[in-house]
Structure 1
Amino acid sequence: MMRQYELVERVKAYNPNADEALLNRAYVYAMKAHGTQTRASGDPYFSHPLEVAAILTDLRLDDATIAAALLHDTIEDTDATRDEIDALFGPQIGRLVEGLTKLKKLDLVTKEAAQAENLRRLLLAIADDVRVLLVKLADRLHNVRTLHFVPASKRARIAQETLDLYAPLAARMGMQAMREELEDICFKTLFPDAYDTIVGRLNRLAERNAASIQEIQSAFEERFAAAKIEAQITGRAKRPYSIWRKMERKSVAFEQLSDIFAFRVNVADVPNCYRALGVLHTGWPTVPGRFKDYISTPKENDYRSIHTTIVGPDHQRVELQIRTEAMHRFAEYGIAAHALYKDGLGGDREGLTRESRAYGWLRRTVELLAEGDNPEEFLEHTKLELFSDQVFCFTPKGRLIALPRGATPIDFAYAVHTSVGNGCVGAKVNGRTESLVKALSNGDEVEIIRSDAQTPPAAWEAVVVTGKARAAIRRATRSAVRAQYAGLGRQIVQRAFERAGKTFAEERLRASLHRLARTSVEDVLAAVGRGEMHSIDVVRSVYPEVRDERPQTSQGMAAPASGWFGLERAASLRFKAPGGEPADGERPSIPIRGLRGDLPVRFAPDGGAVPGDRIVGILDPGQGITIYPIQSPALKDFDDQPERWLDVRWDVDLAKRERFPVRITVTSLNEPGSLATIANIIYAYEANIDDVHMVSRSPDFHDILFDLGVFDAKHLGAIIGDLRQAPVVSNVERVNG
């Protein structure tokens, strides 16, 4: 285990002005706080934060970050408090340690929380100070280095989570060396046979080609010396996980890979990068399509280098990377290589934003949190950004737009601005009109043709590949649907005011919004159009003296609105009543009293219906009527059979406590006693469990279908609400067949 003075010497080696007293205090405090705690390996627990701090000294980080690394587990795993950390080490270090504590808690609930929510919280936690991410990555790196001590039941989960989240995040921050080590260790953990096979082949290939590699390197050195270019040339081999991923992605064998070995050329400055490129391209033939200039157009994580492939000595294809020493340092250490972290400047986060496009990506990604309606959408957006290779395209004015590989002109339009995407009707690529669904290529110049009258089709969502475009299309689609509902609701409300002998005026309705628990007139009209609110309630909110015209139940209460195809929708649509002519206006609705009522009635087989639902009846010739909740997707099967639609309403005696069928799906933890906990909650509400069916199983979660008998929608809502609060339950949803 590293001694106290050794850690201080490591920091002072790159920062002679380091706060030695601060580092000593943090070392002693953390060692005493962790006391006799041990890790799975049997080592003292303090060895872990000490190793994390050592990893960060390799990245040459500031004193505050090193101290936070030493203290990062104290609040979570010892009696230390945030107030105590602030008092001893200052609020800056206190904030870092608290941010890391939140991430530690997040890890502990990985089995209980969806991966989407994990990633969302992770990015929110690190957005305020990216040093939290750097310490977290170092923490994860040391944890995977000791992964072989972890029980086998947890090992695969930790390795997979690292490949899914932490390695891509390291790559996005430009920290290539850390990313490669994380990937290789996790690859070895998850696929040990494949790892051993690839490593064995790499070793044999290196032995066989050692002389050839030396010959190629010598040839390059001679050419550069003749051109008076000082260059340091080193050979490198692809990492095992990188080889495995390429073999998987391209479906090729190991022997078919041509870029297993490559050379890196480091020169003094940018002009010499292009001089070195000229020497290589004039000395040997180039491989078409294998040249990329990331110096003039850096990657989103600030990576800069020239990549090229030539047919070198002995007619071998040779891949080369040409860069300066500063570029190389950033390629290895990424955002941690910025001088911002030296000399005590770690707190200037705005400076970091100016200096690093990688941190700018993080900021933009966090902004997406406000655009996605749920964590799953956010995960979809962010994974697209994390895992996709990129193409670089240009606007007609020369603005560079970086997009994931496979992006379309629609993605390009939304990358320019959301309004440009929403108004997109066509595109010209390199001066020629092209399909909006054609994949763009590197260097394409894209001109978007717009129209103010355009609304993005919902089908675009299946075409685009960027999260920003998908989120914007979903929002625009929801807005268009809402506008349609509001238009329908306006017609219904205006007709209701006419029936009551009153004049509809938005100003008066706006003054009555508080009575309807809505914030705008459009909200009210959309709710009426969707069948969530009865038009007579809108009229009475403005004119309380108007009589409630709805039919009364046996308890004297107004019956609920019958939905799209009930009384409200009759104002706009005409249906043929069974056995008669097309009905017009407000025809009577059929009372539904349950399975023991006067009519031969049955409920939707895949989901049921309960009092309080807006319902519609479908006539089944010779069998009676099937009752569906209005939101049931099964109703689309009857869209072309309007003669079978019936207006129905509930007319039940609540005193009889009759139960009605409903189906829910419960996502529960895969733990002993989970099913019993769920059943006890349902039993406590006097609901019947008519059937239970396990839909899917995984190591962490089960999806279970329950067919229940409940009294009404309020009863069902109470059950679902209590189930969602249960610690063994991840999610509960009603199934509408």
Structure 2
Amino acid sequence: MMRQYELVERVRRYNPNTDEALLDRAYVYAMRAHGNQVRASGDPYFSHPLEVAAILTDLKLDDATIVAALLHDTIEDTDATKAEIERLFGHQIATLVEGLTKIKKLDLVSKQAKQAENLRKLLLAIADDVRVLLVKLADRLHNMRTLKWVPPEKRDRVAQETLDIYAPLAARMGMQDMREELEDLSFRQLSPEAYESITTRVSELRQHNGPLVQEIERDLREALVQRGIEAEVKGREKLPYSIWGKMERKAIGFEQLSDLYGFRVIVASMEDCYRALGVVHTKWAIVPGRFKDYISTPKPNDYRSLHTTVVGPRRQRVELQIRTRDMDEIAEYGIAAHALYKEPSGAPGVMLSSETRAYAWLRKTIENLSQGLSPEEFLEHTKLELFHDQVFCFTPKGRLIALPRKATPIDFAYAVHTDVGNTAVGCKINGSVAPLVSELKNGDEVEIITSKAQTPPGAWETIAVTGKARAAVRRATRAAVRAQYSGLGRTMAERAFAKAGKSFSEEIIGRAVPRLARSVAEDVFAAVGRGEIKTEDLIRAAYPEWVPPRPEDRMNGAAATAEGWFELKRGHNLKFKIPEGEPQERLDAIPIRGINGELPVRFAPDGGAVPGDRIVGILTPGEGITIYPIQSQSLQSFEDAPERWLDVRWDVDELSDGRFPARILVTARNEPGSLAQVASAVGDRGGNIEGLQMRSRSADFTEMVIDIEVFDLRHLNGIIADLKARDVVSSVERVND
């Protein structure tokens, strides 16, 4: 176990002005607080916070972070309190320790809602002070290094949690070395056979190739020196988890991998980076499509480097990363490389979060993920934000947008602004019109075409890749659906109040809201539209003295619901009364404009309805109105629920281009070309075939059940007439049910 003076010396190597007395007090306090506690390995428990502090000294962190590491388990596992730590070590350190205590029990195999709430606490604590994340990552790294001492039933859970949350967080903060070690330790636990197989194969390959890594290092160094470029060249084999990931991603075997070796070329200046790249590309053949310039377009976690792959000696593919020493430090330590700066006095202090893009990304992610999501949605979208490689695209004005691989213009639009995403109707990729579902590639210039009349379809949620886009689509869909139900409920309420002879106004409804257990009038209208509140209950809430008509009164004579379109006789027997001539205009009926209108409307599933049909609306709780033609036999199934019947009317402009569903049954001769003639008759009249079923009734005739879209009843009758005029057609009839 590290001694007190050894810890101080580790800090003094990079920070000569360290507060030795503070470190000594923290060391002694933590050791006494943990007392006789022991770890599963049998070691004193204090050895764990001490090793966490040692890991952080390798990252060259400030005194407060080192002290927080020493104390990070004291509030959780000992009798220590925040007040006592604040008195002894100051408010800053006490806040760090408390932040770590809050997120101590992050358990990703518990119930999903609990997982999400714990993860939310983790991210919020990190957002307050990034050093919470640095201590937490070091804590997890040491726990993974000693995982073999954990009870077997817990090892997989801890390893999976590390792979799901902590390794991606380290990557997002640019701490690649820590990420790789966390991934490799997790992989070793979760897939021991695969880990052993890969390490064995790599070892065999190493013996076969001999000193290949050293040979490439030497050749590279000599080539650069000849051009006057001083460089440090470091080579290594890829780690087992990285190899496994590539095999899984590309669905290939180990023998098919061609770039198991990676090299870092570290030079003095940015100019030397590009000079070194020229040396490499003239010495060895480049692999097309494998060059990436992260210097001109850094990653969101501040990573900068030139990446290229060449065919090296022995025809072996070699990956190269070329960077300056400052870039290398950021690549290795990530956000921790920004954790210190020098004050005029020379004392170390914490760098402002605005100076690191990685931390800015974290804050933005938390902001995006905290906009009213359920716990389950929060967890889903957080993982989406953590798990992805990236592509870099540009707006027409040159703004860089970083997106996950497989992202679409939908994700791009929401990354620009939520309003741009909500109003997107199309896009151009590199100047050419493209579908919104296209997969974006590095360097694409994307222009989003918008329309104020657009609302995002719910299906976009399954197409979008980013958590921000999915959450925004979900919110917009919910808002649109709520607005539809609210509009329907308002219309139903206005007509119900009119039939009851009562005044209707926002003020009257507002006074009734508390009696209906709702917050605002819009909630009441939405509940009425969804069928959760009956219009009778709404009237009674507004006018307590009102007495609804008795059921037997409603059943005498023509029912008020359909005003002469059908009758409900005593005993709830439903009978249709089709009046002669055109029906009178029913101004108090609910206007129907189609499925894309302002109300939640759908049409009868077996036959639909078209303008010109006499129609009835059936209210289905949670689904809106289903429109049936009056002759539909399906209406009989609702005869025992008269409260669900709504008086509806068409409100469609004759010049409207909206189409409506209908179904026809065509009997045609069974001969070549008959289907073509039927389709031609429908198409010539401007009809659109949505679905087709064919069944043989006999050897000579075939029945075709055709779902078509038409403008209105006149349009439908014209198509039927044209079909009957075809020689191959024996009969045509409209189908309802």
Using the size of structure 1 for normalisation, the TM-score is 0.75
Which aligned pairs between 1:242-641 and structure 2 lie closer than 5 A?
242-340=242-340, 351-510=351-510, 512-549=512-549, 579-581=574-576, 630=621, 641=634
- Residues 149/570 of structure 1: CA separation in 2 closer, same or farther (3 Å cut): farther
Change (3 A) 1:267 1:531: same
Q: In 2 relative to 1, CA 395–150 (structure 1 residues): closer, same or farther, beyond 3 Å?
A: same
Aligned to 1:643: 636
Question: What is the alpha-carbon distance in structure 2 between the residues aligned to residue 394 and residue 573 of structure 1?
Answer: 60
What is the number of equivalent residue pairs in this alignment?
590
Within the alignment, does 1:49 sit opposite 2:42 as a pair?
no
- The match for 1:216 is 216
1:583-606, Cα deviation, whole Å (9 max, x unpaired): 999xxxxxxxxxxxxxxxxxxxxx
Amino acid in structure 1 at the alignment position of 2:635: P
1:642 is matched by which residue type in structure 2? L
Structure 2: any 5+ residue segments left out of the alignment? 553-558, 587-618, 644-737
Partners of 1:457 and 1:477 within 8 A in 2: yes
Tell me the amino acid that sits aligned with residue 160 of structure 1. Q
Q: Contact conserved, 1:575 with 1:642, CA < 8 A, in 2?
A: no
Would you say the 8 A contact 2:103–2:118 is kept in 1? no
Q: Are 1:148 and 2:141 an aligned pair?
A: no
Question: What amino acid is the match of 1:4?
Answer: Q
1:533, 1:644 → 2: CA distance? 22
Which letter maps to 1:580? K
- Whichever residue aligns with residue 643 of structure 1, its letter is Q
Q: Distance in 1 between matches of 2:639 and 2:488?
A: 20
Contact 2:408 2:437 in 1 (8 A): yes
Tell me if structure 2 keeps the 8 A contact 1:53–1:69: yes
For residues 648-663 of structure 1, the aligned pairs below 5 Å read 648=641
Deviations 1:79-115 (A, max 9, x none): 1111111111111111111111111134498478654
Distance 1:569 1:104, change over 3 A: farther
Q: Do the aligned partners of 1:96 and 1:132 also contact (CA within 8 Å) in 2?
A: yes
How far off its partner does 1:359 sit?
Answer: 1.0
CA distance 1:250–1:28, change in 2 (3 Å)? same
Which residue in 2 is equivalent to 1:672?
A: none
Q: CA deviation at 1:51?
A: 0.6
Amino acid at match of 2:357: R
Structure 2 equivalent of residue 182 of structure 1: 182
Residues 113 and 486 of structure 1: is their aligned pair in 2 closer, same or farther, counting only changes over 3 Å?
closer
Aligned to 1:591: none
1:117 & 1:640 partners in 2: Cα distance? Answer: 51
In the TM superposition, residue 32 of structure 1 has moved relative to its aligned partner by: 0.5
- Offset of 1:582 from its aligned partner? 6.5
CA contact (8 A) 1:368 1:378 kept: no
| 639-648 or 1-10, larger mean C-alpha shift | 639-648
Change (3 A) 1:345 1:126: farther
For 2:100, the equivalent position in structure 1 comes to 100
Q: Does 1:77 pair with 2:72?
A: no
2:163 is the counterpart of 1:163: yes
How far is 1:519 from its partner? 3.5
Q: Is the 8 A contact 1:110 1:118 kept in 2?
A: no
2:207 is matched with which residue?
A: 207
Counterparts in 2 of 1:629 and 1:498: CA distance versus 1, 3 Å: closer
Q: d(CA) in 1 for partners of 2:489 and 2:405?
A: 44
Q: Which amino acid aligns with 2:575?
A: G
Letter in 1 for 2:195: Y
1:90 has 2:87 as partner: no
**Post-superposition, which runs of at least 4 consecutive aligned residues in structure 1 deviate over 6 A?**
341-347, 567-577, 582-585
The change in CA–CA distance for 1:24 and 1:488 in structure 2 (over 3 A counts) is same
Paired residue secondary structure (2:297) = coil
C-alpha change, 1:528 and 1:71, in structure 2 (3 Å) is: same
Q: 1:574 to 1:296 in 2, by over 3 A?
A: farther
> Structure 2 CA distance, aligned partners of 1:44 and 1:356?
38
> Whole-Å Cα distance in 2 between the matches of residues 446 and 640 of structure 1?
52
Q: Distance in 1 between matches of 2:529 and 2:504?
A: 16
Shift of 1:75: 0.8
Alignment of 1:117-156 (within 5 A): 117-156=117-156
Q: Which residue of 2 aligns with 1:62?
A: 62
Q: Partner of 1:320: helix, strand, or coil?
A: strand
Query: Would the aligned equivalents of 1:492 and 1:571 in 2 still touch at CA under 8 Å?
Result: no
In structure 2, distance between residues paired with 1:641 and 1:324: 75
Contact 1:426 1:450 (8 Å CA) reproduced: yes
2:286 aligned counterpart, secondary structure = coil
Query: d(CA) in 2 for partners of 1:572 and 1:58?
Result: 86
Larger radius of gyration: 2
Deviations 1:403-446 (A, max 9, x none): 11111111111111111111111111000001111101100000
DSSP 3-state at the match of 1:641: helix
Preserved CA contact (<8 Å) 1:75 1:82: yes
For residues 531-577 of structure 1, the C-alpha deviation after alignment (integer angstroms, 9 at most, x for no partner) is 2223234334444443355769xxxxxxxxxxxxxx99979998998
Deviates most, 358-367 or 4-13: 358-367
Q: Larger deviation: 255-264 or 443-452? A: 255-264
Q: Please, what is the CA RMSD of the aligned residues? A: 3.1
Kindly provide the CA deviation profile for residues 229-272 of structure 1, in whole angstroms up to 9, marking residues without a partner as x.
11111112111111111111211111211111121100112111
* Contact kept in structure 2, 1:428 and 1:448, CA below 8 Å: yes
